[in-house]
Amino acid sequence: MISTNNIRGKLRENQILAPYTSWKIGGPAQYFFEPADLEDLQEFLRQCSTLEEVPITVLGAGTNVLIRDNGIRGVVIYLRNHLNSLQQLDDFTLRVAVGVTSARLMQHCIHQGFADAAFLAGIPGTVGGLLAMNAGTADGNIWDHVLQVETIKRDGMITYRDAKEFQATYRHVTGLAHDEWFIAAKLLFAKQDGAIAQQTAQAILRKRSASQPLTKPSCGSVFCNPPGQYAARLIEAAGLKGTRIGAAVVSAKHANFILNEGNATARDVELLIQHIVKVVKQSQHIELTPEVRILGEI
Ligand SMILES: Cc1cc2nc3c(=O)[nH]c(=O)nc-3n(C[C@H](O)[C@H](O)[C@H](O)COP(=O)(O)OP(=O)(O)OC[C@H]3O[C@@H](n4cnc5c(N)ncnc54)[C@H](O)[C@@H]3O)c2cc1C
């Protein structure tokens, strides 16, 4: 049992996680904690650190996770809009906490005239998720802009770490220890004209709404693009557009999106992911790897 002495945030038991994900899929968290602020998170972690056997999972906005129907054992810490500070440090650098949404970060950057932040347009989620995934597009990735991060460990200790201590590649970052999570980042952008930044972001959003199915729940692209290839093209070439398992469907608009058409289960989606991998391997001779993080108990 987790104690809540001096904790100001909300701790709930058996919280269904589906509403906390963009796919609207996912079973319960054994414990679900929303910290009031950073000090509250530190205090909560200190109290949990005595319970070594309780696993801890950190969620940003749940836009790149598939949470299994049996849910997540241990504690899920939900940070979206909880660690929420954003400070402009000088003309080019800012410190942003991980619960800030990428939409808010992008709006701030546009306002500052940081046109090189426009790649964030249309990427949902939080700064924590951006950092953990090295999120981005062909126009840029978040770690191109990271100078330093602040991390927290299970004992509540905060460490300042240089970006050079991490290796950020396509949708993958190494350098965090076990039970260490991002809590903030210092980011650097180049100042340009605010109007150019705004126009670039708007053009990206128009392109996304023309090419991506944004009206039904999804996690964005399910698979990473293999080197020199597009996962969407391979899935389409394999004839898989429109393929359905339960209420999980391969989008007809963008084949790398799996849509939840209403009451899809994580099992529907996971079986569809496995089917896509198998069929693409047989017909296109390429093994797709999921970009989405699959979490929880089988
Ligand atoms: C419509 C749509 C379009 C998308 N387009 C893009 C795109 O163009 N490019 C792109 O890269 N992604 C895209 N995504 C995927 C997703 O938005 C990004 O990966 C985003 O950065 C995830 O952020 P999140 O806060 O939702 O992370 P979550 O889904 O909550 O978490 C993702 C992973 O990060 C870990 N994590 C979260 N916060 C922390 C933290 N503070 N410390 C350590 N680990 C943490 C989680 O444990 C999990 O493993 C898209 C998603 C959707 C739904």
- pLDDT tens sequence for the chain (298 residues): 677 788 999 999 999 999 999 999 999 999 999 999 999 999 999 988 777 789 999 999 999 999 999 999 999 999 999 999 999 999 999 999 999 999 999 999 999 999 999 999 999 999 999 999 999 999 999 999 999 999 999 999 999 999 999 999 999 999 999 999 999 999 999 988 889 989 999 999 999 999 999 999 999 999 999 999 999 999 999 999 999 999 999 999 999 999 999 999 999 999 999 999 999 999 999 999 999 999 999 9
Q: Is the CB of 60 under 6 A from ligand 1?
A: yes
* SS3 of residue 143 by DSSP: helix
The CA distance from 26 to 68, in Å, is: 5
How many Å lie between the centroid of ligand 1 and the Cα of residue 168? Answer: 15
Of residues 218, 214, 256, the one with CA closest to residue 237: 256
HSE-CB at 264 with a 13 A cutoff on CA atoms is 28
Q: Is 173 in the pocket of ligand 1 (CB under 6 A)?
A: no
Kindly give the number of the ligand 1 atom that is closest to the alpha carbon of 141: 11
Name the strand (E) or helix (H) holding 140.
strand 140-141
Q: What is the DSSP letter of 100?
A: S
- Name the nearest CA neighbour of 48 among 56, 37, 40, 38: 56
Residues 284 and 237: beta-carbon distance below 8 Å? yes
The reply to whether ligand 1 has any atom less than 6 angstroms from the CB of 99 is no
Whole-number Å distance between alpha carbons of 33 and 233: 40
Buried b (16+ CB within 10 A) or exposed e, 230-244: ebbebbbebebbebe
From atom 33 of ligand 1, which residue's Cα is the shortest distance away?
Answer: 129
User: Given the CA of residue 64, which atom of ligand 1 is nearest to it?
Assistant: 29
Indicate the top mutation candidate among 17, 22, 59, 212 to test ligand 1's pocket, ranked by most ligand atoms within 8 A of CB: 59
Q: Is the Cβ atom of 26 under 6 angstroms away from ligand 1? A: no
286-296 CB burial, b ≥16 within 10 A, e <16: eebebbbeebb
| Residues identified as active-site | 171, 221, 291
Strand, helix or coil for residue 74: strand
Number of Cβ within a 10 Å radius of residue 160: 10
The secondary structure element, H or E, covering residue 214 is none
Out of 64, 174, 292, give the residue to mutate to test ligand 1, the one with the largest number of ligand atoms within 8 Å of its CB. 64
pTM of the complete model beyond 0.95: yes
Residue 102 CA to ligand 1 center (angstroms) comes to: 10
Shortest-distance Cα residue to atom 12 of ligand 1: 135
